A and B are shown apart, each in its own frame.
Chain A
Amino acid sequence: MTYIGEIFVMAMSAIFIQNFLLSRFLGLCPFLGVSTRIDSAFGMGMAVIFVMTLTSSITYLINVYLLAAYPYLQTIAFILTIAALVQFVEMVIQKNAPALYKSLGVYLPLITTNCAVLGVALLNTTAVRSDGVTPYNFLDSTLNGFFSGVGFTTVLLAMAGIRQRLGLVKLPKYMRGMPIALILAGTMALAFYGFMGFKL
């Protein structure tokens, strides 16, 4: 398979088939927390894409060159990396986009403990290309991180869009807020379940 085809497979599987939110169920906290308005969902999505991409590339280097003999250090070293990166992103956003910084609120530092970010770093260490043998190289890992972030953002935006419209709908009192959001999330996960089993 050509490399372009490889990238396509990676993108499709990261965005739809193995979507972090709706197939792997990782990183659900911002999925429910920041999905009430589209603009803050978009900001959150961009922050997650940025952190995931950088995390994937840096953790790849750390994993290959520092941790080859100590695979048990992966989790702690990756968390360290993610925490530092999130801190960095927070500084950049606070400096350059104070409005976005305010609307993201506590969810920005929470990316640190977002298991989707740690998830993509850990999955990259064992991931293989579509031939089933070749492990990911540096570019593969980085791209996988980027597409995973795109998948995260896609679903977050879809959820935010639906929830914004739901705000106009007259709901019974016991359904308002979190209950309807959870039902919505479940229904969306069912829809994404349809992608499962696609052989690319």
Chain B
Amino acid sequence: MNIALYTLAEASLAAQIGIPTFIIGILGLVFGVLLAIASKVFAVETDPRVDEINEILPGANCGGCGNPGCAGYADAIVNKGEAINKCAPGGAAVVAEIAKIMGQEASEVQPMVAHIHCSSGGHKNTNWRYQYQGVFSCKSAVNLAGGPNACEWGCLGFNDCQRACLFDAIQVDADGMRQIDMEKCTGCGACAAACPRNLISIHPIDQKVFINCSSKAKGPEARAACGSEHACIGCGLCAKKCPEGAITVTDNLAHIDAEKCTGCGVCAEACPTKAIVVLGSRF
């Protein structure tokens, strides 16, 4: 039974290499064949639709749908009756494909994108309280005495959102400001979850007017702390000027109701600190 015919010292070089290779090869072959047989015997029947849907999904595993990854979402659609329009990165095309497989009507999906509600956070437009020299991460910086920037609501500028983005949609420009590429952004919300200051909101792509500030400090404080000088001071001028009544001011900060906003831009012109932006016509 012992197939080692001669000892290593006597064996030729070819045998020294060949026999061990042969042994391992045979072992692998035997186990491979046995496993192949076992996989037929113990085959588990899965719904083929799960695999089909999983192939259609973008495979980014962003978790935006609330499931652990794309495979989890595919399983949830087929086995738990989850809604088919939750995949933000896939958009309408993916929903249509899934609808075809599941035999459902494709419901209209509003494409969503992210927006950063702060105009600070760059090299030039941030007031620093101290020089932070730790790990280059917002989550880490915000834990050191409340963060190195003067505005305790403002962007820290350590690009956690950029690193969280799976679609390369957030770029840092020459001034150190994060710019969201609306073409690439899928509205999955990974950046919003990564921001320790909750500066990022996900909104319908046709919303154009935003308050570019999240400071709840009183007017003079907000202004003093803000490096970009575009702080919302909570004056309420925008709320008064808005023809649709879409703006409310709470906690010294204006909010725009996306449902009522028509994108006229009156508020942006009225704002004394230029804290309101109309996308496509940045100041």
- Whether A3 sits at the interface, judged by CB under 8 Å, is no
Of B23, B39, B44, the contact of A67 (CB 8 Å cutoff): B23
How many angstroms between the C-alpha atoms of A94 and B4 in the bound complex?
39
Query: Number of residues in B with C-beta < 8 Å to the partner?
Result: 21
- Whether A92 sits at the interface, judged by CB under 8 Å, is yes
Of B8, B24, B42, the contact of A76 (CB 8 Å cutoff): B24
- Whether A158 sits at the interface, judged by CB under 8 Å, is no
How many angstroms between the C-alpha atoms of A87 and B31 in the bound complex?
10
Q: A91-B38, A91-B42 are in contact. Are A80 and B31 (CB under 8 A)?
A: yes
Q: Is the CB of B2 within 8 A of A65?
A: yes
B1-12 vs A, Cβ < 8 Å mask (1 yes, 0 no): 111100110000
Q: A66-B3, A84-B34, A84-B35 are in contact. Are A77 and B42 (CB under 8 A)?
A: no
- Whether B243 sits at the interface, judged by CB under 8 Å, is no
Q: Is the CB of A81 within 8 A of B27?
A: yes
Which single residue of chain B is at the shortest CB-CB distance from A95? Answer: B42
Main secondary structure of the interface of B (DSSP, over half): helix
Q: Is the CB of B38 within 8 A of A80?
A: no
Of B2, B7, B23, B35, the contact of A88 (CB 8 Å cutoff): B35
Q: Is the CB of B23 within 8 A of A73?
A: yes
Give the chain A neighbours of B23 by CB distance below 8 A: 66-67, 70, 73, 77
Which single residue of chain A is at the shortest CB-CB distance from B23? Answer: A66
Q: Is the CB of B42 within 8 A of A68?
A: no
Contacting residues of chain B (43-97) with chain A, CB-CB under 8 angstroms: 43-44
Which of the listed residues A67, A69, A77, A94 has the most CB atoms from chain B within 10 Å of its own CB?
A69
Give the chain B neighbours of A73 by CB distance below 8 A: 20, 23-24
Q: How large is the interface on A (under 10, 10 to 19, 20 to 34, 35 or more residues)?
A: 20 to 34
Q: Is the CB of A94 within 8 A of B44?
A: yes
Give the chain B neighbours of A88 by CB distance below 8 A: 34-35, 38
B273 CB, nearest partner CB in chain A, Å:
40
- Whether A62 sits at the interface, judged by CB under 8 Å, is yes
A50-93 vs B, Cβ < 8 Å mask (1 yes, 0 no): 00000000000010011111100100110011011001100110
Give the chain B neighbours of A70 by CB distance below 8 A: 4, 8, 19-20, 23
- Chain B contacts to A: CB under 8 angstroms: 1-4, 7-8, 19-20, 23-24, 27-28, 31-32, 34-35, 38-39, 42-44
- Chain A contacts to B: CB under 8 angstroms: 62, 65-70, 73, 76-77, 80-81, 83-84, 87-88, 91-92, 94-95, 98
Residue contacts A-B, CB under 8 angstroms, 29 given: A62-B27, A65-B1, A66-B3, A66-B27, A67-B23, A69-B7, A69-B8, A70-B4, A70-B8, A70-B20, A73-B20, A73-B23, A76-B24, A77-B23, A77-B27, A80-B31, A81-B27, A81-B31, A83-B31, A84-B32, A84-B35, A88-B34, A88-B35, A91-B38, A91-B39, A92-B38, A94-B42, A95-B44, A98-B44
